[in-house]
Amino acid sequence: MRHPVTKSLRVLVTGGAGFIGTNVVSELVARGHTTTVLDSLRPDVHTDGGEAARARLHEIAARSPAPDRAVNLAVGDARDLGVVTRLCGDVDVVVHLAAKVGLGLDIDDIDDYVSSNDLGTATVLRAAARAGITRFVQASSMVVYGEGHYTCDDHGVVPPAPRTRDWLEQGRFDPPCPVCAEPLTAGLVSEHALLDPRNTYAVTKVAQEQLASVWSRETGASAVSLRLHNVYGPNMPKNTPYAGVAAIFASALDRGEAPRVFEDGGQRRDFVHVTDIGAAFAVATEADTSGHRAFNVGSGVVHTVGDLAQALSGARGGPEPVVTGQFRLGDVRHVTASSERIADELGWRATVSLEDGVRALTFD
């Protein structure tokens, strides 16, 4: 494990008014760092015009010993080179969270995903290089792996073929061995796995990581990509097209309806609480690493989507989940992380269990 930076840092957090962003800012401020938040407050995410986000940032600042300096909000787009360059001139580290999230609603979104995520990242990296910043931490995602880690009894570790619409319509949800078509055994994905993006969002996340790697190599600065697994927790976005599965299930329960679970509910995931994510970003911001380094960030405990629905139904006293057999073509079947690298190298481990986390789940 490398020794962390102990001095107070000035950190620019792009996308810092979002669900994950406010938790990152909260953790940074709690550790004595000052933050500048750049957020566009885009209306498809901040449906209230950003009022709730502004209030949360104000609350975070108020808990600081220096509330007038702890959190500064700049409303702007990460693709605006002038704005980002100005903000980078007064910080030590950039934490880049600004992105359009979700699978990609349809092909008409492809240009907005690439512009928001990849042009945005390139612009932030260019500004950081201009300002002489030597540390960059970005949010990546487990979706870069596509389908997760699989082994065949006869053929060892194999990459499963993409699940086709015909296959899924027959209720054949688990991908077979591409050689013998026999069932595969799912396991934990390590950072050594090949990247295999299978939807628009995933492609942009791979590109973000590659841009960070190029930036690190060309500038001599350090870059960290945190491959986040399924994040949930208080103040999750609820009424947007990009709400996660926990928000979708909880929304149904709050209406008195049963959560509707796609496929057979057996999809394996790693659900990690947003406060643990905030701590992971803070540790990565403070750490002394070199070059470009990617880390899985998960709870370390495998659950299924059905487990999540059941836990939420129990926590909210709602009806039992209903398994529908429906599917989304861009979804992956099983992807769960090994988070041992970040534990070994940066000393971070998740602390919130799924059972405890869902009991305190709230939404915007």
Strands 135-141 and 292-297: unpaired
Assigned token pair, 35: 């933050």
Backbone angles phi, psi at 171, to 5 degrees: 75, 20
Per-residue confidence band for 4, with pLDDT thresholds at 50, 70 and 90? low
**Residue 64, Cβ neighbours under 10 Å: how many?**
18
Strands 292-297 and 156-157: unpaired
* Contact (CB, 8 A) for 138 and 282: no
pTM for the full predicted model: 0.92
Strands 149-152 and 34-39: unpaired
Residue 270: beta bridge partners? Answer: none
Dist CA 89 CA 138 (whole Å): 19
What integer is the mean pLDDT of 104-132? Answer: 91
**Per-residue confidence (pLDDT) for residue 198, from 0 to 100:** 82
Dist CA 193 CA 289 (whole Å): 21
> For 8-55, what is each residue's pLDDT tens digit?
999 999 999 999 999 999 999 999 999 999 999 988 888 888 999 999
**Per-residue confidence (pLDDT) for residue 346, from 0 to 100:** 97
Residue 186: beta bridge partners? Answer: 150
Backbone angles phi, psi at 295, to 5 degrees: -135, 135
Strands 149-152 and 185-189: antiparallel
- The H-or-E segment that residue 149 falls in is strand 149-152
Per-residue confidence band for 1, with pLDDT thresholds at 50, 70 and 90? very low
* Residue 104 scores a pLDDT above 70: no
- Those residues whose C-beta lies under 8 Å from the C-beta of residue 104, and which sit 6 or more positions away, are 110, 113, 199, 200, 201, 330
Dist CA 22 CA 57 (whole Å): 7
Q: Residue 108 carries which DSSP code? A: G
Dist CA 257 CA 259 (whole Å): 6
> For 254-295, what is each residue's pLDDT tens digit?
899 999 999 999 999 999 999 999 999 999 999 999 999 999
Dist CA 296 CA 300 (whole Å): 10
- Half-sphere exposure of 274 toward its Cβ, with a 13 Å CA cutoff? 23
Dist CA 35 CA 74 (whole Å): 11
- Those residues whose C-beta lies under 8 Å from the C-beta of residue 333, and which sit 6 or more positions away, are 147, 148, 160, 163, 173, 174, 175, 186, 263, 267, 268
* Surface-to-core class of residue 153, CB atoms within 10 Å of its CB (0-12 exposed, 13-18 middle, 19+ buried): exposed
Dist CA 269 CA 305 (whole Å): 7
For 309-334, letters b (16+ CB in 10 Å) and e give: bbbbbebbebeebebeeebeebbbbb
Q: Which amino acid is at 111?
A: D
Dist CA 328 CA 73 (whole Å): 37
> For 148-191, what is each residue's pLDDT tens digit?
899 999 999 998 877 889 989 999 999 889 999 888 999 999 99
* Residue 85 scores a pLDDT above 70: yes
